[in-house]
Amino acid sequence: GNSVTQMEGPVTLSEEAFLTINCTYTATGYPSLFWYVQYPGEGLQLLLKATKADDKGSNKGFEATYRKETTSFHLEKGSVQVSDSAVYFCALSDQSNFGNEKLTFGTGTRLTIIP
Amino acid sequence: DTAVSQTPKYLVTQMGNDKSIKCEQNLGHDTMYWYKQDSKKFLKIMFSYNNKELIINETVPNRFSPKSPDKAHLNLHINSLELGDSAVYFCASSQAGRLKQFFGPGTRLTVL
């Protein structure tokens, strides 16, 4: 079955530090990969996605590249801000089942940025 | 203009009670989902419906019964609530074949 393994948290960084949150996956088909973000007290929001190997998803200064050879989708940001403090979820969706695009999530990584 | 809304936002109840959580989406999507987020923030799919038909049922106890009266609504009814049901429940919607899911704000259920 499909699974997602992501870096255990919590992660605490100073403002303007470089961020990497590791994510690796196991899938039987050709999954799409996602990063979702959950700000305190809110639901999840899609941060970025990539649908095929070597695709790079990017949004709000965050980037992640779909690496099929290492089955990874690591999230990076060059200079984090206090407002980036949230829980980040790596997820995959198996595209082989139309109308059945359930998301399989990693365990989430709590990120705290201190001024 | 909330895209995916859930009610109630908080629900505190006693063990053994029956409760419902409602979800509505105004995005015109044909697929809706329920996810459960436990105390450690782990998120897991429970159900999905496509055009009011049950598509995914991920080994959820039959005390949980989703109902989709139309494509815009997916409600979750829980019978005989147990302590382990305490969690945040998220509703989501998407258009089949499109990858992006839109999540509601969550319902925090506490069973005492």
DSSP string, A34-98: EEEEE-TTS-EEEEEEE-STT-EEEETTEEEE-BTTTTB--EEESS--GGG-EEEEEEEEETTST
Determine the pLDDT at residue B93.
93
Name the residue of chain A whose CA is nearest to B37's CA: A107
Give the rounded percent of residues in chain B with a pLDDT score beyond 90: 66
**Selected residue of B9, B32, B35, B41 to mutate for chain A interface (largest A Cβ count, 10 A):** B41
Rounded Cα gap, residues B39 and A9, in angstroms: 14
Q: Give the model confidence (pLDDT) of B11-60 as tens digits.
A: 999 999 999 999 999 999 999 999 999 888 888 999 888 888 888 777 78
For A101, the closest of B42, B44, B94 (CB atoms) is B94
Looking at residue B39, the DSSP 8-state letter turns out to be T
What does DSSP say about strands A23-26 and A103-105: parallel, antiparallel, or unpaired? unpaired
CB of A31 less than 8 A from some CB of B: no
Average pLDDT in the A82-101 region? 82
Task: Tell me whether residues A43 and B56 touch, CB distance under 8 A.
Answer: no
On average, the pLDDT of chain A sits at 91
Percentage, residues of chain A above pLDDT 90: 76
Among partner residues B44, B100, B104, which is closest to A43 by beta-carbon distance?
A: B104
Q: What is the pLDDT of residue A97?
A: 58
Average pLDDT over residues A55-82: 96
A87 touches B: beta carbon within 8 Å: yes
Residue A99 in this model has a pLDDT that exceeds 60:
no
- Could you tell me the sign of the dihedral formed by the alpha carbons of A30, B60, B90, B103, in that order? positive
Across A1-22, average pLDDT:
93
Contact by Cβ (8 Å): A4, A23? yes
Query: According to the model, what pLDDT value does residue A95 have?
Result: 62
Q: What is the mean pLDDT of residues B61-71?
A: 91
User: Is 60 exceeded by the pLDDT of residue B77?
Assistant: yes
List the 11-70 stretch of B: residues with Cβ below 8 A of A: 31, 33, 35, 40-45, 48, 50, 55-56, 58
Candidate from B15-19, B66-70, B85-89 with smallest mean pLDDT? B66-70
Which range has the worst mean pLDDT, B20-24, B27-31, B79-83, B108-112? B27-31
Q: Is B22 left (phi over 0), alpha (psi -120 to 50) or beta?
A: beta
Least confident of A7-11, A22-26, B20-24: A7-11
Mutate to test the interface with B, among A11, A95, A102 (most CBs of B within 10 A): A102
Mean pLDDT, rounded, of chain B:
91
Percent pLDDT > 70 in chain B is: 98
Alpha-carbon gap: A15 to the closest alpha carbon of chain B (Å): 24
